[in-house]
Amino acid sequence: MGCGRKHRSGAPNTRPSCGSRDIIGERCKFFMFCVMKSACLTADNLQRRGWHLAPICHLCSNGGESCHHIFSSCSFTQEVWGLVRGRLGHLQTTPSVDLSWWCDACKFIAKKERKVFDAGVILVTWLIWKERNARYNMDTMSDNTSHNILSQVNGSSQIVITDSKVQKLGSSANYVKYYKGTVKFGKGLRIQTKASVLAFTSCDGEAADALYVRLVAVNSPFTVKPLSYGRGIRRYREYTFLAVPPPSCLLSNYTDGFNDKTVSMKRFTEEFIKITGDIVRAIITLHCQGYWCSGLKGKHVCIYKMEKCTDAKIWSFCFAGGNEAKKSEDWVDLGKLLELAAKRNDSYTAEIEDLCKKLKNKTLRGMKVLKHSALLNVREKFENIIALNLFILVHVKSQPQVPSGDPEKDKIISELVKFMNASLQWAKAMPHWITQSSNYQAPTTETGLSFIDGLRDLFEHENEYIPEKVKQSQSKIQLVGRDPDLECQLRLNLEKIFLQAQNFVLELDIEY
């Protein structure tokens, strides 16, 4: 069945012959069929099946490995065909994976020599594939015995992959891919430390360079500091690698799904408040140094957990210069992340909603974000009420309303006076174990002022209001951290009033 023979229908057969059984075996012919269909187990085809391999050609160490590359454009393959071209009949065209070159070449071969020609083409292609497999196995054996030395930076450090399986860090929908590895440094590269290694292709090389420069340039304890960075060597020279201290998780682990470390009793936990505080400080530092987070997401924040401390560090940010519009978007993105965390944990209360709205409306930013009641612990919220009560006694009740020279502050104080005199009907919403206490005195008027004064008395003399049965059943008299505790009951039963009182402290910048 040479190229010149005909089908039973009489039409000429343009498909190259696969040779006779006595020249090549069925295995080689089937392999050639796979080559023509681009179905060989090259790196690109294996990746489609879920394998995680470096897509580097093992013959030339350049370009991505595919059937088209190996059997056509690879420099090693072209050199091989150049050597055997004369013995196969002086091919006039460069070999390629499709059939056109083969059919064209057959035109220059005598009919009686076509079987040998066809067999030669198949066998050379088969031997190229065998050489590829041999080099792949050699590289793999080297990797398994001494790990992969991926990058060497000025001879002073090495990035080494200790597990070639791609790892994922973060939530299922918001994650970062990395490899487990180590960084060797010091004299004789004797010192080593664990690292998470990020790999960038040649297409992302410039972006990787810029990222490394930014991470090194920013001087802040709230951004990730790289351990090492450099181009790959040997068959990894098309890659760039960045090694960073291995994080415990990402912010997306807290925000993208239910997590008891994020919310407890419908409020942010102290651990999550600490993480948010680190993010706020990181944003402020980046803005001062001319950077912004450019679409802040949960996967852009690494979480490092130690024995008694949890730290958050941002690793992805861009140069903003003096563009204040870009910088202001970071607060909007932070509001979206906090909103997501609360909603995914079924805790989007009025207090958290107020915080998120102010961030998204760009009316709250900087360190003042951390003074919002949604990011305060229980004791700090109680101290806010005591401070507000003292402010009212000193600056509002004891002296007539005198303009302070600050129109904004005068407006807030005017609203505070209205709140103090308004009838709020709050007594019925107080926790029953407080109203049933012998020390409890029902208010004669249920105004905002009596509410603040009543809470101040409760927080300062909390022990006197707690019934004996409650004291015996609780290890902590303050009822903080119990489900539900005093703060939780006040916040949920008197949601609007309690939040309004906390916001007066925020807006007037009152300190305890």
Other CB atoms closer than 10 Å to residue 55's CB: what's the count?
17
E strand or H helix that includes residue 7: none
Same domain, yes or no, for 100 and 187?
A: no
Q: For position 52, what pLDDT does the model report?
A: 65
Q: Are residues 385 and 298 in the same domain?
A: no
Are residues 273 and 352 located together in one domain of the fold?
yes
Q: What is the pLDDT of residues 83-97, one digit of tens each?
A: 776 665 555 555 665
Q: What angle (nearest 5°) sits at the alpha carbon of residue 211, between those of residues 242 and 47?
A: 55
Q: What local confidence, expressed as pLDDT, does residue 23 receive?
A: 60
Same domain, 314 and 433: no
pLDDT of residue 345: 93
Pick the last residue of a domain from 226, 246, 266. Answer: 246
* The two structure tokens encoding residue 458: 């409760």
- Nearest-10 crossing angle of helices 495-508, 486-493: 100
Q: Are residues 273 and 222 in the same domain?
A: no
For residues 394 and 459, state if they share a domain: yes
The answer to whether residue 59 is domain-embedded is yes
Q: Whole domain around residue 50: which residue ranges?
A: 26-145
Chosen domain end from 191, 225, 246: 246
Residue 368 DSSP code: G
Report the mean per-residue pLDDT for the chain: 81
CA pair distance 114, 43, nearest whole angstrom = 33
Q: Does residue 6 belong to any structural domain of this protein?
A: no
Does any domain span residue 12?
no
Q: Can you give the pLDDT at residue 426?
A: 86
Q: Are residues 267 and 320 in the same domain?
A: yes
* Residue found under tokens 């990787």: 208
Per DSSP, what are the bridge partners of residue 304?
311
Stretches where the chain sits below pLDDT 70 are 1-24, 52-54, 85-101, 137-156, 234-235, 398-404, 433, 437-439, 462-484
Q: Where are the beta strands (DSSP E) in 265-350?
A: 267-268, 291-292, 301-305, 310-314, 318-319
Helical residues (DSSP H) of 43-172, grouped into ranges: 43-48, 67-68, 75-84, 100-106, 114-146
Extract the runs of DSSP E, i.e. beta strands, from 126-215. Answer: 148-153, 157-170, 175-185, 191-200
Instruction: Report the domain count for the chain.
Output: 4
CATH code of residue 283: 1.10.510.10
List, edge to edge, every strand of the sheet that includes 228-231: 148-153, 157-170, 175-185, 191-200, 240-244, 228-231
- Give the pLDDT confidence of 281-323 residue by residue, as tens digits: 999 999 999 999 999 999 999 999 988 899 999 999 999 988 9
pLDDT of residue 142: 44
- pTM for the structure as a whole: 0.69
For residues 59 and 160, membership in a common domain is answered with: no
392 Cβ contact list (under 8 Å, min separation 6): 416, 420, 449, 452
In a domain, 116, yes or no: yes
Residue 11 lies in a domain: no
Residue 95 lies in a domain: yes
CA dihedral of 382, 383, 386, 391, whole degrees rounded to 10: -130
Q: Is residue 16 part of a domain?
A: no
What is the pLDDT, as a whole number, of residue 358?
A: 97
229, 281: one domain = no
Q: Are residues 236 and 274 in the same domain?
A: no
pLDDT at 357: 97
pLDDT given for residue 361 in this prediction: 95
Domain end position, chosen among 116, 145, 174: 145
Both 291 and 176 in one domain: the answer is no
In a domain, 17, yes or no: no
85 and 188 share a domain?
no
User: Distance between CA 286 and CA 296 in Å, rounded?
Assistant: 13
In this structure, what token pair is assigned to residue 393? 């006694």
Whether 312 and 282 have beta carbons less than 8 Å apart is answered as yes
Looking up residue 228, the CATH number of its domain turns out to be 3.30.200.20
